[in-house]
Amino acid sequence: MNNINIYKEKLRESGLRPTRQRLKICEVLFSPEKTFHFTINDLTKIIEEKLSEKISLATVYAFKKKGYLKEISINSDKSYFDTNTKTHHHFFDNSTKELTDISDDQVEKVKINTSLPGKKITSVEVLVRVENN
């Protein structure tokens, strides 16, 4: 089964219609050998350059809602998306604005000494900000 058919099937299984635009986005996001991070602006540029297409922001958020992407908020007006949706940690380089994965075995267990009434912790993800000396 080729990738397009796999993407069509995955989209249908998650309740998303496999439109031409969604399939083009799948080609860019899920064809690379490894996961990657991007902003909406990055994705727009990639899609426009590689595929001569414009994309709808709603489509990207639909992918997030269905669990195909994870959103990492850097600050109140800057988010990155990650094609690796498993729980993991990140470095964020303040100088280059690059987000890099940190594997779980590179971070010791994080201990949280407080809780919210009526809530339970389901995961902990660390964002470490770095910059040049």
Mention every residue, 6+ apart, whose C-beta is less than 8 A from residue 32: 83
Residue 120 burial class via C-beta count within 10 angstroms: exposed 0-12, middle 13-18, buried 19 and up: exposed
d(CA 79, CA 40): 8
d(CA 49, CA 44): 9
The pTM for the full model equals 0.83
- C-alpha distances in angstroms, 77 versus 39, 74, 103? 11, 8, 26
pLDDT for 23-72, tens place per residue?
Answer: 888 888 887 778 889 998 888 888 888 777 777 788 888 999 999 999 99
d(CA 120, CA 130): 30
pLDDT for 88-128, tens place per residue?
Answer: 999 999 999 999 999 888 998 888 888 899 999 888 899 99
pLDDT on residue 1:
62
Query: Looking at residues 63-90, what average pLDDT do you find?
Result: 92
> Closest Cα partner for 81 from 89, 73, 92?
73
d(CA 28, CA 59): 14
